[in-house]
Amino acid sequence: MEATRANDTGQTVGGSLMERSNFASEIPIFEIPGGVHPEEHKTRSNQADIRTLSLPDELIINIKGQAGNRSIPVVEVGDTVLKGQMIAECDGIFSSYQHAPTSGTIVAIEDRTIAHPSGLSDQCIIIQPDGKDKWCQLTPVRDFDQLSREEMLATIFESGIVGLGGASFPAHIKLKRESGIHTLIINAAECEPYITCDDRLLREHSREVLKGAEVISKLYSDIDIVVGIEDNKPSAIDALVSARKELGFSNIKIAVVPTKYPSGGEKQLIQIITGKEVPHGKLPADLGLVMHNVGTCFAIYETFYLGKPLIQRLVTLTGDACKEPGNYWVPFGTPVSHIINQTHAESPKRIIMGGPMMGYELPSTEVGIVKATNCIIMSAEGELGFDNPTLPCIRCGACMDACPASLLPQQLYWHAQADEFDKAEEYDLFDCIECGACAYVCPSHIPLVQYYRYAKSSIKNNRIEKTKAEKARQRHEARQERLERVKREKAERHRKAAEARKKAAQKAGKKDEKKAAVQAALERVKAKKKAQENKDDNKPATGEEK
């Protein structure tokens, strides 16, 4: 329904022109409503080849390093581990295995600050690298054609692979549904400013990524593959095209989508590529679609072809304070402080994990990289996060025009700040994907997304409280009933006892009557006898004298 908004700031990025691809999309693409064009800042980090960092003194591996449940450590302090060795197993299906990113010693399993905006601590496994970086036994499964679907899924599961787009949702769960899936969409849109790890990965490892995608497609007996990529990555598109040709994969189509944030959101990319919306409360799988990020495809390639579990990822290290911006292979658990040192960042003002639109500021630099970390922005003074005073909402509707979900952010804000959560839910609060486009355009500088997060968490808490209260009420009622019952039973017992006593008493009473009657009879007899005797005494020798 919305026309494309003017590409007002899309062309210029950090003073340089961002090249646009002329490669025509191979499938027709569709519009999404809303969206914004923030400055891209991508040329800074997408120029250099992928590099590696030196190993830090210690790796801080957070057991809550993925969406879902914490992992459970299976190593103990003092253990020596090899690179790729499993160190934590998953807790249930909605969780992930974790592996040692390098060889070394487990020096501690303790609470450390984790990668979370709150600055919370959680259990971490601390590995001291031995510097040898020695792999454990790797067992590639190249002939996965021989494997059953379950075995393939198990391979992915046991390699600890999660979605590497930034949400770190365990990959095997997304791949579980088999029936009705007809298209695999590879998400290479990478619409967040600054982040270029997917771009760089495609430029240098297109073939591996496509091979990984092919593995996924095998899971569904060779379904179609569509790569969705924004037109600001011409080199990556070229690399994809030649890799496809080289590999002879004919079932892969490349959808070049216009650069607009948030085209890379799962629901948004589906809408752009298929013109369809994922119905409320449904999953992409209900439309026959499954979507994976290019990084995830690469990880799946490494698992099947090289036998490597997921122990590192490509991270964009960038920001004005970063002296050597680029994309680096970063082992999980690498402390951010080590990254700052290695890239010679000069006293960064703010350190953002993730992109500027959806990322969060790190509370500490002693935090380990997790599977979801796609970018670390080391910002200089005045680069990110303006200290503009917040003004009242004037209902200008700029947020509404920017919202890709066609929400009314101004009304959501109104209700959220007034704690009218039921109203906020009426305005589909939970359909907000927290992309931040609304807050980006807000002329009053209202931190809108923060209000929605607040409202969402309040509603969730209220629900939990409500369930708790309901349970407590049920418990209370059950107790009340039990007490009543006990009381009733007691009363009943008493009543019965009393009755029994009464009966007994009555019985006893009857016996007494008899007794009394007997007694009375005996008395009478006695009295008669006595009377007789007295008669005899008063009539002296009458009978005997005769």
Partner 1 sequence: MSVLSSPFAKKPNTVTQLMLWVVLATLPGVFALVFFFGVGVIVNLFIACSTALITESIILKLRQRPVAPILWDGSAFVTAWLLALALPPLLPWWMTVLGTSFAIVFAKHVYGGLGNNIFNPAMVGYVLLLISFPLEMTTWLPPQELAAHPVGVVETVGIIFSGQGSNTATIDMLKQGVDGYTMATPLDHIKTQLAQGYRLPEAETAPIIKGLSGVGWQWVNLGFLVGGLVLMFKKVIGWQIPIGVLLGMGLISLPLFFANSDEYLFPMFHGFAGATMLGAFFIATDPVTASTTPKGRWIFGLGIGAITVLIRTFGGYPDAIAFAVLLMNMAVPMIDYYTKPRTYGHARNAKESS
Residue 154: count of CB within 10 angstroms of its CB = 13
Compute the least distance from the CB of residue 95 to partner 1, in Å: 26
**Nearest-10 crossing angle of helices 197-219, 294-301:** 60
Q: Does 125 bind partner 1 (CB under 8 A)?
A: no
| Backbone angles phi and psi of 227, in degrees to 5 | -95, 120
CB of 282 or CB of 473, closer to partner 1: 282
Which of 408, 420, 421, 458 is the binder for partner 1 (CB under 8 A)?
A: 408
Residue 126 · residue 111 · CB < 8 Å: no
String marking each residue 19-48 x if it binds partner 1 according to CB under 8 A: --------------x--x-xx---------
CB of 333 or CB of 356, closer to partner 1: 356
Given the rule CB under 8 A, which of 45-53, 441-449, 496-504, 506-514 is the region that contacts partner 1? 441-449
Q: Any long-range contacts for 524-527 (C-beta under 8 Å, 24+ apart)?
A: none
CB of 44 or CB of 211, closer to partner 1: 44
Q: Does 263 bind partner 1 (CB under 8 A)?
A: no
Q: Does 540 bind partner 1 (CB under 8 A)?
A: no
Binding to partner 1 (CB under 8 A): which residues in 199-258? none
Compute the least distance from the CB of residue 48 to partner 1, in Å: 23
Compute the least distance from the CB of residue 8 to partner 1, in Å: 9
Collapsed DSSP state (helix, strand, coil) of residue 318: strand
Q: Does 509 bind partner 1 (CB under 8 A)?
A: no
Integer Cα distance of 378 and 345 in angstroms? 7
Q: Does 280 bind partner 1 (CB under 8 A)?
A: yes
Which of 400, 415, 455, 456 is the binder for partner 1 (CB under 8 A)?
A: 400
Which of 248, 392, 540, 543 is the binder for partner 1 (CB under 8 A)?
A: 392
What are the tokens at 108? 């501690």
Beta strands 224-230; 183-188: pairing state: parallel
Which of 350, 364, 380, 420 is the binder for partner 1 (CB under 8 A)?
A: 350
Q: How many residues does the chain have?
A: 546
Q: Does 436 bind partner 1 (CB under 8 A)?
A: yes
Given the rule CB under 8 A, which of 152-160, 197-205, 406-414, 458-466 is the region that contacts partner 1? 406-414
Collapsed DSSP state (helix, strand, coil) of residue 286: helix
Given the rule CB under 8 A, which of 83-91, 217-225, 432-440, 487-495 is the region that contacts partner 1? 432-440
Integer Cα distance of 168 and 209 in angstroms? 18
Q: Does 262 bind partner 1 (CB under 8 A)?
A: no
Integer Cα distance of 411 and 526 in angstroms? 110
Residue 530: count of CB within 10 angstroms of its CB = 10
Return the CA Rg of the chain: 39
Q: Does 275 bind partner 1 (CB under 8 A)?
A: no
- Find the helix or strand (DSSP H, E) in which 438 lies: helix 437-441
Compute the least distance from the CB of residue 208 to partner 1, in Å: 31
What are the tokens at 211? 């091979």
